[in-house]
Amino acid sequence: MSNAMWGGRFAEGPDAVLEAINASIDFDRRFYAQDIAGSKAHVAMLAATGIVSKADAAAITKGLDEVLAEIESGEFTFSRALEDIHMNVESRLAEIVGPAAGRLHTARSRNDQVATDFRLFVRDALDALGASLLRLQQALVDKAAENAASVMPGFTHLQSAQPVTFGHHLLAYVEMIGRDRGRLSDARRRLNECPLGSAALAGTSFPIDREMTARALGFDRPTANSLDAVADRDFALETLSAAAICAGHLSRFAEEIVLWSTPQFGFIRLSDRFSTGSSIMPQKRNPDAAELVRGKSGRVIGALVGLMTVMKGLPLAYSKDMQEDKEGLFDALDTLDLCIAATTGMVADMVPNLAAMKRSAGAGYATATDLADWLVRVVGMPFREAHHVTGRIVAKASEAKLPLEKLPLEAMQEIEPRITADVAGVLGVVNSVKSRTSYGGAAPANVRRQAARWRKALAKQ
Ligand code: ARG
C-alpha cells in the first residue's frame, strides 16, 4: 500500500529497509506535545485569517486535544509506516475528525513544522537545564561558605603551588557554571523565533498571519527568511556547544573529586549515597558517580561534533539528513541533566578532611612565594632577585628535609643576612592564604564576600 500522506504518485509501498531507515517516530514522538501545540496555534490562525472555516478549526482543535489525551494516557498506537510524529498525529486526527482534518496542513509543511517543534523542545530543555545548574550553584555556594577558611593546596601542573581555600576552589566552579547558564540563556534568546509559516522552503501564497502563531507559541517574532528557517539547526548546535562546554566543566570537577577522594589525597569523603563498593576488595569506596560524570561528557561533546558534521555539507534548504539532529541532542541533554544532578548530590554530601587538606597545603614549599614577597616588601629586593634567594633557601630546606617554617633563622640568614625573625609570620599556610586579599584572591575574607554575593544573586533567580 502506498503512503496515505504522500502516496498519491506512488504505485507501490516502501521497502521494509526504507521504512527502517526513514522512520523517526521511535524518537521524535518525544515532542508530541510541542507538535500538537504547534498544530493548534496553526489552525487557530487559519481560522482567524479565514483560510479554514471556524467550524473545521473547532473540530480540528478538539480532535488534537483528543490525540494529546490518547498519547498521554498511553492509548495511542504509534506507527512506523507513518514515519514521524507529525504524520502519526495527523493520521489519527483524520480518524477522529474525518476529512476536515486534511485542512490542518494548509499553508504548512513538515519542514516548518519540525523546525518549530524542535525549537520548542530545545527551548523547554534549555529552561530545565538552567534550573538544574542553578541548584548546583546553590550547593557549591553553600559548601564554599562553610569552607571559606578551610586551607587547601592550590595546584599548577598538579604540583603544590600556593595555598588556597576549599571555598575558593568551589567558587571557581560557581563562576564557570554561571557562564554556562549565561550561554544557555543566550542560546535561548537567539532560538526564540518561529519558523511556522515558512512552509516547505519558500513561504506560502495563503494570507497567513505569522505574528499570530509566533505569539501563540511564546516566540518573540517569526523568522525573517523562509529558507533559513527550515534549513538551519544552529540553535541545536549552539545548545550543544553550551552543553559540551558545561559537560567539560563538570568533567574537570569530577576528575578532582576522583583524586580528592583517594586515600592518597584524602581531601574529601564522599557520602555512602554517592560511593560504590567493590565485589572483591572490601575496603573500597569508589567514586563511580564522579567517574561517570567525567566519562559521560564524551557523549555530550560527541553529539555536538556529530551534528556539526551532519550539517556542514547540506545545500539549502531541507534535506532528510537533518532528521539526524534529534537523537544526539536528546541523549546529550538528558546526559547533561543527569550529570548535573549527580554533581549536585556529591557536592551537597561531601565532607572535607580539613586536617588532611591543611597538611597537604604546606607540602612542596607552597609558601615560597610568600617568602619571596616578604623579601620584596620588607628588604626592598627586586622580585627576580627575591625569587632566586628564595630558591636557594628552598633548596637548603629540602636538603635538610625540613618545611620552610622549621628551617632555623640562622640557616636562612646564611643565604640572606637581612632576613629577620619577622619572616615567620608569612611562612605558614594560614597566613599565606589570609594575605591573598587582592580582588578575586583566595583570602577567607574574600571568599566569604564572594559566597554572600553569589547567594544573594542566586536567590533572585
Ligand atoms: N521527520 C522529519 C525530520 O525530522 C520531518 C520533516 C520531514 N520533511 C520532509 N520533507 N520529508 O526531519
Distance between Cα 199 and ligand 1 center (Å): 12
Return the SS3 of 352. strand
The atom of ligand 1 lying closest to the CA of 322 is: 12
**What average pLDDT does the structure give for the chain?**
96
Task: Evaluate: CB of 28 within 6 angstroms of ligand 1.
Answer: yes
**Range 212-222 average pLDDT:** 98
Query: Which residue type sits at 156?
Result: T
The atom of ligand 1 lying closest to the CA of 318 is: 10
Distance between Cα 323 and ligand 1 center (Å): 6
Return the SS3 of 3. coil
pLDDT tens for residues 283-318? Answer: 878 899 999 999 999 999 999 999 999 999 999 999
pLDDT tens for residues 124-148? Answer: 999 999 999 999 999 999 999 999 9
Q: Among 320, 322, 325, 327, which is best to mutate for testing ligand 1, by the most ligand atoms less than 8 A from CB?
A: 320
Task: Evaluate: CB of 111 within 6 angstroms of ligand 1.
Answer: yes
Q: What is the pLDDT of residue 383?
A: 95
In this structure, are residues 423 and 371 in contact, taking their beta carbons and an 8 Å threshold? yes
Closest CA to 301 of 331, 325, 326: 331
CA distance linking residue 349 with residue 344, whole number of Å: 9
Distance between Cα 425 and ligand 1 center (Å): 71
Roughly what angle, to the nearest 10 degrees, separates helices 110-146 and 166-191? 160
Return the SS3 of 143. helix
**Range 317-344 average pLDDT:** 98
Give the pTM: 0.94
Tell me the pLDDT band of 14, cut-offs 50, 70 and 90. confident
In this structure, are residues 95 and 70 in contact, taking their beta carbons and an 8 Å threshold? no
pLDDT over 60 (residue 115): yes
pLDDT over 90 (residue 12): no
pLDDT over 70 (residue 37): yes
Tell me the pLDDT band of 3, cut-offs 50, 70 and 90. confident
Please enumerate in sequence order all residues whose Cβ is within 8 A of that of 447, keeping only pairs 6 or more positions apart, or say none: 144, 148, 149, 165, 167, 168, 171
- Phi-psi sector, 416: left (phi>0), alpha (psi -120 to 50), beta: beta
The strand pair at 159-165 and 151-156 is best described as antiparallel
Residues in the chain, total: 461
Distance between Cα 219 and ligand 1 center (Å): 22
ipTM of the complex: 0.97
Strand partners, 193: 221
Lookup: cell for 162: 600556593
Residue whose CA is closest, atom 12 of ligand 1?
Answer: 323
Strand partners, 283: none
The strand pair at 193-194 and 221-222 is best described as parallel
Using a 10 angstrom Cβ sphere, with 0-12 exposed, 13-18 middle and 19 or more buried, the burial of residue 455 is: middle
